């Protein structure tokens, strides 16, 4: 019974991990860039929420109304001013530039906000829960986050496969030069893709900041969880990423049930096991 | 009868470079006699970074394997030394090569797993692996668990009679290691494997179609680099006398700084890490008080270098003047024909 | 020629240290069909890519209706009405046939071409509209690529070796549709290694050899020997 509870908590946590992963895999799909600063941008979004809440007196979830556009605009600027200049055949420049950015963001946040950990208050929502039978209790907040994650991923799927924007993203990812021949300004398309990714990051950041304590240093772990979810689920598939996130969340929850110190390690082991046995992931769409 | 074509490696600048290097080796080997305690510690730290950066350069700059997880082996080496010294009674200095062997042995299954990932995903995979090592280390209570452990005084004093002699010994050990690493890298690059590596560095597809077994060579470089990194790690923590999971597997100390050093100095050339380490320590001596501002600056400088001067400082110099400090160039020399 | 649609004047092109085009000049009038022939490596694709904006050139080297477009990027050149059917078709593998056509019309330039009209011209595309573009045969892919370019309602269509890798009967089928394609006054530059199709379809011919224009004229005035000599450089 206790494990059933762990399973359910793991699934709900997995929705959050899928959000971390969705932004990451979107960018990799469109422009073959892996943003090492992705996790730190999630944390940055949380701190932006802190500022927005202080400045405008908004509660945590409504602060998204400001945080999402702010992060999206930041994403567009980062892509046009910085990342676009690193894209090309060589692996090193985008990797090192995003790594450098990661260091800058972490230390910048440290300077601005100190290493104190904090948490966004969501009021009564934080402890509200539904009881299902004796041993299982579903928190409203985790449920809400899970539902939002699924909805966002569905929306992204829709965007990619049913809209002109999505067509443009897919064409650009197939062949940059020919996409230009279609009248697409590829630099602008990449900017839009990064804006979209950071919009998702904004939601993920606020969610995680409500759920747990955060400080400037927790970024890399979020990157790693997102990355593991992508690899477990399989490259090129957003629904696969959701599945990957859920599997990771469940692995961590079971590990935590055995021993709280084993939570993260259990996730890593699940990841390594998938890598060993089925490296293309569980639901790969693209065989690259 | 005419002599065969031969390949020449040396240039004027490399002759100067070798002469300077030989001089430096002599002077630095004698450092215990002219330098104070702080000098020796600083020099040992510099050697460690030169070695780590040179190894990372071999991995990323030549073999094209960009790893942000080499701290896995630094920590592994450190813990191996502590384990061997404390649990198996091995003399600390003897434990260093054993740590290297352990690094090589573990790198085989780790590498096999990680090589299933490509490019950027390989990079993050190496980071995950380092995290796994760190988490496992924090579970091993006999080696201090999460809070770490200090090397027992008995083991430390068993290394040499006086504290001064101990410091000299550790200094010479690090010095010998960095010289060995550099010589090994230069010799490797001069050999046919080095030629293959340089080909891989320049154009992997072309190298493959020329018959180079790219996969095998990359794997061999990964294992060799892991071994060298583990040995450096062992000596770093022997000097610190204390180890903990967070310091042993620190991304900042053993990866971020190493990458910045190599990028700023010049990736893909042997001289790069040396120049980069010099610049890094110069900046550190003057600016480290700034704490996180200093780190932000480093990050900004690395980004600027990557965008504006991707070949780094030495890359700019070498391209402009055609210099090299080590005899690594390959020039075909025509034979002079003579009558038999 | 008074008031040409496109005028290329003294165009040079380089790939790093290698020079591919040496002072190439070419004119095409509205609604005219011009062929550019030459052996492999003569610079034909480079010429088309320069006109299409995939290679940046000196602004004045390429004039569209008098406007200097040499330096414009490809997406700006398409917006002005020049569309390229690239060598090797280069359809988007992640997109279906219909999506490939739709993205050709992304810019929404006004004109006679629409999805309906493309399907009338190439009925076999309509049958496979929702299939992945990778499932098409070579000839069908070529038709899709041409349709995709037409969807941007260009004033000038550039066709880079559309007969490459196709069976003769398929090539004839495609060339048979050319009159329908240019019926509304579209200008056309056809680049081919196969001289006979090009000469049959075009009003004027340029022959390139090692980056230079070595022969120019109408099919009527050029003898076969002259073309062969220019082509091979004997």
CB proximity B4 to A under 8 Å: no
CB proximity B306 to A under 8 Å: yes
For range B257-265, the mean pLDDT: 91
**Looking at the 3D structure of chain C, how many domains does it have?**
1
Least confident of A74-83, B13-22, B106-115: B13-22
Mutate to test the interface with B, among A100, A107, A231, A244 (most CBs of B within 10 A): A100
Q: Which residue of A has its CA nearest to B62?
A: A92
Does C83 sit within 8 Å of A170, measured CB to CB? no
Sorted by where each begins, the domain ranges of chain A are: 2-115+126-277
Question: What are the chain B neighbours of A88 within 8 Å (beta carbons)?
Answer: none
Q: Is the backbone of residue B6 left (phi > 0), alpha (psi -120 to 50) or beta?
A: beta
Does residue C146 belong to any structural domain of this protein? no
Instruction: Tally C-beta pairs within 8 A across A and C.
Output: 66
Q: How far is A162 from chain C (nearest CA, A)?
A: 10
For range B17-43, the mean pLDDT: 85
Does B303 sit within 8 Å of A108, measured CB to CB? no
Does residue C101 belong to any structural domain of this protein? no
Does residue C108 belong to any structural domain of this protein? no
For range C169-173, the mean pLDDT: 89
Quote the mean pLDDT of chain A.
Answer: 89
pLDDT at res. A61: 87
pLDDT at res. B26: 86
pLDDT tens digit sequence for B293-315: 888 888 898 899 888 888 888 88
pLDDT tens digit sequence for B176-232: 999 999 999 999 988 888 888 888 878 878 888 888 788 889 999 999 999 999 999
Does C83 sit within 8 Å of A186, measured CB to CB? no
Does A164 sit within 8 Å of C95, measured CB to CB? no
Does residue C77 belong to any structural domain of this protein? yes
Does residue C190 belong to any structural domain of this protein? yes
Q: Kindly report the pTM of this predicted structure.
A: 0.88
**Three-class HEC string of chain A:** CHHHHHHHHHHHHHHHHHHHHHHHHHHHHHHCCCCCCHHHHHHHHHHHHHHHHHHHCCCCHHHHHHHHHHHHHHHHHHHHHCHHHCCCCCCHHHHHHHHHHHHHHHHHHHHHHCCCCECCCCHHHHCCEEEECCCEEEEHHHHHHHHHHHHHHHHHHHHHHHCHHHHHHHHHHHCHHHHHHCCCCHHHHHHHHHHHHHHHHHHHHHHHHHHCCECHHHHHHHHHHHHHHHHHHCCCCHHHHHHHHHHHHHHHHHHHHHCHHHHHHHHHHHHHHHHHHCCCCCCCCCCC
* Number of other CB atoms surrounding residue B324 within 10 Å: 21
pLDDT at res. B107: 97
pLDDT tens digit sequence for B58-110: 999 888 899 999 999 999 999 999 999 999 989 999 999 999 999 999 999 99
pLDDT band with cut points at 50, 70 and 90 for residue C101: very high
Does B127 sit within 8 Å of A224, measured CB to CB? yes
Q: Which residue of A has its CA nearest to C48?
A: A181
* Residues A114, A214: Cα–Cα separation, whole Å: 12
CB proximity A103 to B under 8 Å: yes
Chains contacting A (3+ CB pairs below 8 angstroms) = B, C
Q: Is the pLDDT of residue A259 over 60?
A: yes
Sorted by where each begins, the domain ranges of chain B are: 32-249, 252-320
Are B79 and B248 in contact by the 8 Å Cβ rule? The answer is yes
- What dotted CATH number matches A2-115+126-277? 1.10.3470
Q: Is the pLDDT of residue B340 over 60?
A: no
* CATH code, domain carrying C15: 3.40.50.300
pLDDT band with cut points at 50, 70 and 90 for residue C34: very high
Question: What are the chain B neighbours of A91 within 8 Å (beta carbons)?
Answer: 64, 66, 119-120
Does A173 sit within 8 Å of C106, measured CB to CB? no
For range A32-41, the mean pLDDT: 91
DSSP letters for B137-202? HHH-GGGTGGG-EE--HHHHHHT-SSHHHHHHHHHHHHHHHHHHHHHHHHHHHHSHHHHHHHHHHH
pLDDT tens digit sequence for C64-91: 998 999 999 999 999 999 999 999 989 9
Mutate to test the interface with A, among B262, B296, B308 (most CBs of A within 10 A): B296
Does residue C136 belong to any structural domain of this protein? no
Are A283 and A234 in contact by the 8 Å Cβ rule? The answer is yes
CB proximity B293 to A under 8 Å: yes
For range C105-110, the mean pLDDT: 90
Question: What are the chain C neighbours of A174 within 8 Å (beta carbons)?
Answer: 92-95
Question: Residue C177's domain spans which residues?
Answer: 6-93+154-232
pLDDT tens digit sequence for B108-125: 999 999 998 888 889 889
For range A249-275, the mean pLDDT: 91
pLDDT at res. A288: 34
CB proximity A136 to B under 8 Å: no
For range A97-120, the mean pLDDT: 92
Q: Is the pLDDT of residue A287 over 50?
A: no
For range B165-174, the mean pLDDT: 90
């Amino acid at each position: 019974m206790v494990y059933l509870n762990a399973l359910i908590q793991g699934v709900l946590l997995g929705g959050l991990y899928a959000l971390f992963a969705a932004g990451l895999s979107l960018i990799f799909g469109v422009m073959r860039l892996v943003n090492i600063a992705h996790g730190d941008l999630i944390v940055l979004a949380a701190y932006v929420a802190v500022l927005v809440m202080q400045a405008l007196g908004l509660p945590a979830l409504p602060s998204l109304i400001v945080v999402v556009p702010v992060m999206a605009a930041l994403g567009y600027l980062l892509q046009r001013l910085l990342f676009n200049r690193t894209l090309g055949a060589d692996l090193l420049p985008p990797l090192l530039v995003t790594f450098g950015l990661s260091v800058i963001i972490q230390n910048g946040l440290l300077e601005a906000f100190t290493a104190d950990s904090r948490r966004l208050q969501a009021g009564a929502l934080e402890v509200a829960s539904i009881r299902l039978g004796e041993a299982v209790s579903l928190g409203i907040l985790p449920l809400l986050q899970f539902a939002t994650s699924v909805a966002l991923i569905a929306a992204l799927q829709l965007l990619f496969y049913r809209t002109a924007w999505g067509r443009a993203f897919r064409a650009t990812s197939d062949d940059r030069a020919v996409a230009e021949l279609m009248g697409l300004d590829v630099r602008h398309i990449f900017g839009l893709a990064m804006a979209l990714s950071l919009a998702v990051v904004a939601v993920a950041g606020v969610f995680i900041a409500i759920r747990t304590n955060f400080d400037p240093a927790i970024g890399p772990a979020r990157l790693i969880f997102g990355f593991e979810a992508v690899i477990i689920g399989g490259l090129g598939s957003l629904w696969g990423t959701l599945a990957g996130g859920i599997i990771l969340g469940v692995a961590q929850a079971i590990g935590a049930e055995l021993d709280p110190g084993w939570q993260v390690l259990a996730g890593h082991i699940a990841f390594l096991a998938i890598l060993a046995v089925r490296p293309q992931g569980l639901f790969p769409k693209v065989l690259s | 009868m005419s002599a065969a074509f031969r390949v020449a490696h040396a240039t004027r600048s490399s002759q100067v470079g070798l002469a300077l290097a030989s001089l430096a080796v002599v002077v630095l080997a004698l450092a215990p006699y002219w330098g104070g305690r702080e000098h020796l510690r600083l020099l040992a730290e510099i050697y460690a970074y030169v070695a780590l950066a040179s190894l990372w350069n071999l991995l990323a700059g030549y073999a094209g394997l960009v790893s942000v997880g080499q701290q896995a082996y630094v920590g592994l080496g450190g813990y191996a030394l502590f384990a061997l010294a404390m649990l198996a009674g091995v003399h600390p200095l003897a434990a260093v090569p054993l740590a290297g062997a352990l690094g090589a042995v573990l790198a085989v299954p780790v590498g096999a797993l990680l090589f299933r990932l490509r490019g950027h995903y390989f990079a993050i995979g190496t980071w995950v692996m380092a995290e796994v090592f760190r988490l496992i280390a924090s579970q091993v209570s006999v080696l201090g668990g999460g809070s770490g452990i200090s090397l027992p005084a008995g083991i430390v004093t068993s290394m040499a009679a006086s504290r001064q002699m101990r410091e000299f010994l550790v200094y010479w050990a690090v010095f010998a290691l960095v010289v060995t690493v550099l010589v090994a890298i230069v010799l490797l690059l001069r050999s046919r494997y080095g030629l293959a590596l340089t080909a891989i560095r320049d154009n992997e597809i072309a190298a493959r179609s020329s018959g180079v077994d790219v996969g095998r060579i990359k794997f061999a470089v990964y294992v060799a680099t892991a071994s060298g990194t583990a040995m450096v790690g062992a000596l770093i923590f022997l000097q610190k006398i204390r180890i903990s999971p967070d310091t042993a597997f620190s991304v900042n100390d053993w990866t971020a700084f190493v990458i910045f050093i190599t990028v700023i100095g010049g990736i893909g050339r042997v001289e790069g890490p040396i120049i980069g380490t010099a610049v890094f320590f110069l900046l550190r001596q003057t600016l480290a008080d700034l704490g996180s501002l200093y780190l932000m600056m480093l990050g900004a400088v690395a980004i600027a270098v990557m965008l504006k001067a991707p070949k780094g400082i030495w890359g700019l110099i070498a391209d402009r003047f055609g210099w090299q400090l080590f005899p690594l160039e390959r020039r075909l020399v025509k034979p002079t024909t003579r009558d038999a | 020629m008074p008031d040409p649609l496109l005028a290329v004047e003294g165009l040079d092109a380089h790939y790093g240290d290698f020079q591919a085009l040496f002072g190439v000049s070419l004119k095409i009038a509205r609604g005219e069909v011009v062929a550019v022939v030459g052996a492999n490596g003569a610079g034909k694709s480079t010429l088309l890519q320069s006109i299409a904006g995939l290679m940046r050139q000196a602004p004045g080297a390429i004039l569209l209706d008098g406007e200097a477009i040499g330096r414009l990027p490809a997406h700006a050149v398409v917006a002005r009405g020049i569309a390229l059917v690239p060598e090797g078709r280069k359809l988007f593998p992640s997109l279906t046939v219909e999506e490939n056509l739709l993205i050709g019309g992304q810019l929404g330039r006004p004109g006679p071409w629409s999805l309906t009209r493309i399907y009338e011209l190439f009925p076999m595309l309509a049958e496979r509209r929702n299939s992945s573009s990778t499932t098409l045969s070579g000839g069908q892919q070529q038709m899709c690529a041409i349709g995709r370019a037409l969807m941007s309602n260009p004033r000038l269509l550039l066709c880079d070796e559309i007969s490459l890798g196709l069976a003769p009967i398929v090539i004839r089928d495609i060339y048979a549709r050319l009159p329908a394609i240019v019926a509304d006054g579209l200008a056309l530059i056809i680049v081919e290694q196969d001289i006979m199709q090009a000469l049959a379809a075009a009003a004027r011919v340029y022959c390139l050899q090692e980056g230079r224009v070595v022969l120019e004229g109408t099919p009527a005035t050029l003898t076969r020997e002259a073309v062969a000599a220019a082509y091979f450089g004997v």
